[in-house]
Amino acid sequence: MSSQSDSKMIHVLYLPKWYPNKYDSMPGLFIKRHGIAVSRDCEVSVLYVHPDAQSSQKRAIFSKCYEDGLFTLRIYFRKSSISIKPIARSINLIRFIFYNFKGIRIIQQDRNKVNLIHVHVLTRLAFIALLYKKFNGTPFLITEHWTRYLPNVNTFNGMLRRMISRWVVRKAEAVLPVTKNLQIAMESYGLVNSNYIVVPNVVDTKVFAPIKKKDKRRIKKIIHLSCFTNYHKNISGILRVIKRLSILRQDFTCHFVGHGEDFDAVKKLSNELKLTSKYVYFDGLKEGEELANEISSADLMVLFSRQENLPVVMLESFASGVPVISTDVGGINEHIDEKLGILVESENEDQLLNVINNTLDNLIKFDTQEIRQYAVDHFSYEVVGKTLFEIYTAINSKQA
């Protein structure tokens, strides 16, 4: 690896579709963690342009700051209020492109020359990066996180979108899906590139770690973390299984952590099933050390999603030494074996019930430190950061 002084010569600009913003601190945290991971070895700037329907100001708002070692420029521009939707969409697209180019100029002036653009999530930002490459010769690469390419999701629609996506993917120096499963799904749509490299999501293994000594207890703790979108996460399915489990045994509780659009509906179902405050507890949104403590105190994590790529909550559970029961969807099976957890079929509530019931009686078969070590070896800041830096260095050396 290059020396620290040499590596800092590489300035990478992140263009993310999702990123923490003034309205919501949660979107795109996994993107931010990629930037943090590699910022130890090169300079990383982030440009996030947000179409703002709530703004009453005519002028765009520019917000510059340092966050966790990343120079971050957020630009909020007012969305068009024209009632004719096709015209409004066109105006918003023009503004989005304009402010991205303006933001790149500002970052170039405030920081150093951008050597490489790293787009997170297709398609518009990759198109902007391709235009910038044609004007300035700056290479770009793409990381994809979206589930829309997966067969059971199939929302990658529109002839123009597909055509532009194929073009920009072909012109990128590399494409970095977070799982092999996602790569295969993208390639099935003709998103062809000779340099696909799987780079997974990141977990902070210093924050998420096992409890030094977990007391043996009669009441076992199950945990579920999500953004409470019921169709995606199938939380109602988990609740129905918990109800059936409570008839078989009473030595457990299930804690639901998070908040989102279907939170009230999920809680209503829990109340109707007479689970709340007896077997089911809603612990709300937790972050940082508070979240880490919540996970590490659990005996088992349960995910019952209908669609996923590589959920960060699973990696956080591994880092905490907690086994995971999950549906076999997306790229999850690339990182779960008998030492880390158990896979079940999507929608199969009978199977989920049997697996949870059996696992609660056999938790001793899971080795906390072995589960954690897998997270350290595959998803830590050090490992993912080193992988990204090697990719950046290889691309940058070709431009020299």
Between helix 159-171 and helix 124-136 the angle, nearest 10°, is 40
> Within this chain, do residues 137 and 273 fall inside the same structural domain, yes or no?
no
* Residue 328 resides in a domain: yes
Does 212 reside within a domain?
no
Based on the domain organization, do 196 and 237 belong to the same domain? no
Q: How far apart, in whole angstroms, are the C-alpha atoms of residue 118 and residue 268? A: 42
Residue 327 has pLDDT above 80, yes or no: yes
pLDDT above 70 for 210 = yes
Residue 2 banded pLDDT, cuts 50, 70, 90: very low
Q: Could you tell me if 174 and 227 lie in one domain? A: no
Q: Sorting pLDDT into bands at 50, 70 and 90, what band is 229?
A: very high
Q: Higher-confidence residue: 45 or 25?
A: 45
pLDDT at 7: 44
Average pLDDT over residues 161-179: 97
34 Cβ neighbours under 8 A, 6+ residues apart: 14, 120, 143, 199, 201, 202, 384, 388
Confidence (pLDDT) at 138: 97
On the question of pLDDT at 189 being above 90, the answer is: yes
- Residues 6 or more apart whose CB falls under 8 angstroms from that of 193 comprise 169, 170, 172, 174, 175
3-state percent breakdown (helix, strand, coil) of the chain, nearest 5:
40, 20, 40
Is 213 inside any structural domain?
no
Per-residue pLDDT tens digits for 98-118? 999 999 999 999 998 999 999
11-16 and 116-120: which strand pairing? parallel
**Residues 332 and 261 both lie in one domain:** yes
Q: Is 148 inside any structural domain?
A: yes
Same domain, 242 and 172: no
How many CA atoms, within 13 angstroms, populate the side-chain half-sphere of residue 241? 22
Residue 185, domain CATH:
3.40.50.2000
Confidence of residue 1 (pLDDT cuts 50, 70, 90): very low
163 exposure class (CB count in 10 Å sphere: 0-12, 13-18, 19+): exposed
Q: Which amino acid is at 207?
A: V
With cut-offs at 50, 70 and 90, classify the pLDDT of residue 9: confident
Q: What is the pLDDT of residues 33-88, one digit of tens each?
A: 999 999 999 999 999 999 988 777 789 999 999 999 999 999 999 998 888 989 99
The pLDDT of residue 3 is 38
C-alpha 271/C-alpha 269 separation (Å) is 5
- Which residues 6+ apart lie within 8 Å of 272 measured at CB? none
Shared-domain flag, residues 24 and 145: yes
Q: What are the Cα distances from residue 109, in Å, to 14, 49, 102, 104?
A: 16, 18, 11, 9
Mean pLDDT of 293-312: 96
Inside any domain, residue 349: yes
Q: HSE (CB half, 13 Å, CA atoms) of 119? A: 29
Question: 224 and 131 in one domain?
Answer: no
Whether 269 shows a pLDDT value over 50: the answer reads: yes
Mean pLDDT confidence for 212-229? 87
Number of domains forming the structure of the chain? 2
- What is the span of the domain harbouring residue 134? 4-202+380-399
Average pLDDT of the residues of the chain = 94
Same-domain check for residues 71 and 13: yes
pTM (2 d.p.): 0.93
Domain shared by 40 and 174, yes or no: yes
Query: Are 138 and 268 found together in one domain?
Result: no
Q: Euclidean distance between the first and final Cα of the chain, in Å?
A: 17
Return the structure tokens found at 391.
């990719």
Q: Are residues 267 and 148 in the same domain?
A: no
- Give the range among 181-195, 200-214, 253-267 with minimum mean pLDDT: 200-214
Cα–Cα dist 330/45, whole Å: 30
Query: Same domain for 194 and 242?
Result: no
Question: Does residue 211 form part of some domain?
Answer: no
pLDDT at residue 255, as a whole number: 98
Are the C-beta atoms of residues 249 and 361 closer than 8 Å to each other? no
> Is the predicted pLDDT of residue 4 greater than 60, yes or no?
no
Could you read off the pLDDT of 343-356 as tens digits, one per residue?
A: 999 999 999 999 99
Residue 312 lies in a domain: yes
> Is 208 among the domain residues?
no
